[in-house]
Every structure is written in structure tokens, then in C-alpha cells.
Amino acid sequence: MLKLFKKPKDKIPKSEIITEPKEPKTPPVSKCGKPLQLDNSRWEASIHPSRRLHKELMSLIKEPPPGSYRGHRKRTAKLIRVSTDYGAEWKINIKGFEGTLYEGEDFQLLFKFNNKYPFDSPEVTFIGSNIPVHPHVYSNGHICLSILTEDWSPALSVQSVCLSIASMLSSCREKKRPPDNTLYVKTCNKNPKKTKWWYHGAYS
Amino acid sequence: MESFKQNDGNRDELIIQQQREIEKEISDTTPLVSEQLPLTCLWTEYNGDDIFTAKIQDLSTKYKFIRRTRPDGNCFFRAFAYSYLEYLISNSSAYQEFRKLAEESKDKLVQLGFPSFTLEDFHETFMEVIKRVSPDNPGGQSKVQSELHKIFNEQGYSDYVVVYLRLITSGKLQEEADFYQNFIEGDFTIEEFRHQEVEPMYKESDHIHIIALCTALGAGVRVEYLDRGEGGTVKAHDFPEGTEPRIYLIYRPGHYDILYPN
């Protein structure tokens, strides 16, 4: 099992969060010149997915993630930037902790939310030029982490996912790819949620 | 080797696609909570099966109606909530007591370590549902009753209620971890069990879920077990033992529905 919310031993890095306010955009215009309407019907499966996402965003901005959900005030995650509309995709930058194998590295996570969020888990992958070399991160950015599929609970949030991933990285002792990386990356679906994951025991 | 792996990837996708199709078929054909149906509608399901026919006969001497819930893994929680609120609609003092308990439950869960941010969201909706089915609402009991039915068939509200009950259950397991640890098979810790078998949606409920939830809310449940076991009669279990039941459920392997006593 992954030990969630593991506290780093000595130094507790400060977390910061910088939001990139989106420039007010003119509404997208379709070819025939009419403004495109947002399709709200996608949201009907749940009452508040967009409200919940909005709340999550506000909370990420206001309150950088604390070290654990047991109410510690100590912060262990460096969550740098949220750039988003309140839409279904967020990009979140995270930084490797000081004192870990990933110190000084920057990573980017892509969160995709479907219309059943928070009942369905978000689809979360690493994107960009730096995919962390880690036994549970494939070189295509897919992450083998049980809370992203079968152990997802609606009581979890973007914040708690970021923390889990950050602590997964922090507890790593040797930088290496998963043993089946080459085959998996060649054959897997684009959406990691379509993989039937076989969760490994201890993170090492 | 490679072609085998390739097939493996496709097979994953096929399995998941098939699961989605089954889920869709279920959600298209079964409402989250059905209307009240005569208990005898169970006959048709077990046509010609002697054991079940005898047991349904036995059951029908005690119960008149059944209300089906969608078999989506949340059936126990949904049936529990529906049936208990239905009881509370007709019992004002119990309703007030429960409302107070529900109101205070959030702080308790936060104290137990649940993330207040997501919890607040679920608690808010849970309280909204409870307020909407108050016995004192204008229009009288029958109007409140139909409001309850409407709410529970709106996926958003219905699922929010399920989530909140799952969290209450999980909280109880944590609060009395020493006790509940005895009921967990295998190498699971209480912590793992809560995160993997209680908090996620669509995970089916076992006795341990039922006991924890009933105890947390002080609500008695009687479960009638309809299975292939011997005896010709349906066996009932009360949770917590010795409590007067307010909620009546029928269990058939893998699924809970609501019962209405004569």
C-alpha cells in the first residue's frame, strides 16, 4: 500500500500556489458565425459537478494543500499553478520535494473530469517534457495509483490526488520505470482508466 | 508474447466496455428506487422454483409490499436512507432527533479526520434532502412522501445521500476500529477496508457496513434473507441485535430491496 500523506522527515517545504488568471476570452465562434453554446446537458448526471469543481478550484487557490487530511497544518506538497477555465480539464504543476530524488524537478499533471465527477474519478496523467522516472509512472504519463480507479471515493479531491502523487514520488528510493513499461506504452489505451490495473504492493 | 500483451490491452477495453453496457442497461431499465410493488411480484422471478416459492409464501405472511432499488452496488445505502426517511416522515419526534444528529455528524467526521472540504459539500446536500422531507412541510405526509420519491430518483441527490452515508459508516469503523477489526477477513487493516470497501461508490455492503451505519445513526434494521438455504422459511436478522427495527430490507444474494410489513 502506498502510504498516503507521508510527512517528509526534516524540512517541510512551503507550498505555494499561483493561479494564472485566464484572460477573458471572446466566446468561441463557429464557422457560421454564431457563438457556440456551452453544452450543459453533459452535467445532468450529477447535480453539482461544475459547482464542486468550482469549489475545488477556489479552495486550491485560497488554501494550498495541507500535509494531510487529518488536519495537519504542515504542508508537504508544492502545488504551483492551476491554469484552467472551470471546464473539464485542469493542468496542475507540481514540484519535486526537497530532500527527495525529484528535488528541483517540475512536473505537470493533467486532470480530466467527466460528467459524473466526483462520483467517477478524474483521469490523471503526467504530461509535458518531464515525466517522472518512477516505478509506478509509465513513460507515457500513466500513473498506477489505486485511488485513481477502483479506490476512488467522492470524498477525495484534486487536492488529495495531488498529495497522493506527491507522496508517491517522495517515497521513491530508486528512479526507474515500471518493469513492463515498453510493452504497456505500446499497447495501452490513451485513457489510463481503461487499463485494468494490477496494483503492486509496497512502493519502494 | 507481444501479441498476447496486445490482446491483453484490447481485452481490458472489451471488459470495461461490456461493464459499461451492463451498467447502462441496468440504469435504463431500473429506476434508482421503484414504486411500491405487491410482494407477490417476486413469484414471477422464481417461477417454478420450489424453494423460493415456499419462502416467498412465508415472506408474504409478514410483508405486503416491496420497493426495488437499482442493483448498482449502492443498494443497501439507498434502501436504508429511503426506508428510514420514510419512517421519519410519519414520526415527527424521531425526525427532529435524527435531523439534529445529522446536523452534528459533520463536525464529528471532521474531527475523525475526514477532509472538511469535500465533506461539507455532501453534508450540505444531505441536510437539504432531510429538510425537504420534514413531516412539518406544508402539504402533509403524502406530499412529503412523493417529494422523497422524487429526490431519490434524481441521481445527483440520491448519490450524494449514498456518499454521505458511506462516510458516516466509514467514520464509525474508524471510531471503533478495535471492535470492527474483528469482523474484517484477511490482511486488511480497518484503514484499508474503509478506503477500499466503504468510501468508494458502487462497492457492495456487507454485515459490517450495516452494523456500523445502524449503530452510528441509532436506527434498527431488520434484514430478511431470501436464499437457497434450507428450511422453507425466510430468516431475519436485526441490526444492531435487539433493537426494534424501523427499516425492513430483503436481501437476495448481492442485493437489497425495501420491504413493507403488514
Q: Computed over its alpha carbons, how large is the radius of gyration of chain A?
A: 18
Fold of B31-261: 3 helical TM bundles of succinate and fumarate reductases (1.20.1300)
Distance CA B216, CA B237 (A): 18
Closest-CA residue in chain A for B165? A155
Closest-CA residue in chain A for B7? A187
Domain A44-194, CATH among 3.10.110.10, 3.90.228.20, 3.65.10.10, 3.40.470.10: 3.10.110.10
Task: Give yes or no for A43 touching B (CB within 8 A).
Answer: no
- What is the residue extent of each domain of chain A? 44-194
What is residue B37's three-state secondary structure? strand
| Per-residue pLDDT of chain B in tens (262 residues, 90 and over written 9) | 444 445 566 777 787 788 878 878 877 788 999 999 999 899 888 888 889 999 999 999 999 999 999 999 999 999 999 999 999 999 999 999 999 999 999 999 999 999 888 899 899 999 999 999 999 998 888 999 999 999 999 988 999 999 999 999 999 999 999 999 988 888 889 999 999 999 999 999 999 999 999 999 999 999 999 998 888 889 999 999 889 999 999 999 999 999 999 9
Q: pLDDT tens digits, residue range B174-225?
A: 999 999 998 888 888 999 999 999 999 999 999 999 999 999 999 999 999 9
Query: Residue A57 above 70 pLDDT?
Result: yes
Task: Give yes or no for B32 touching A (CB within 8 A).
Answer: no
Cross-chain Cβ contact B117/A71 below 8 Å: no
Interface confidence (ipTM) of the complex: 0.75
CB contact at 8 A, B64 and B110: no
Whether the link from the prior residue into B31 is cis, omega within 30° of 0, is no
Q: pLDDT tens digits, residue range B28-48?
A: 788 999 999 999 899 888 888
Task: Give yes or no for A52 touching B (CB within 8 A).
Answer: yes
Grid-cell match 478550484, residue found:
A57
Model pTM? 0.78
E-strand spans in B33-130?
33-38, 63-69
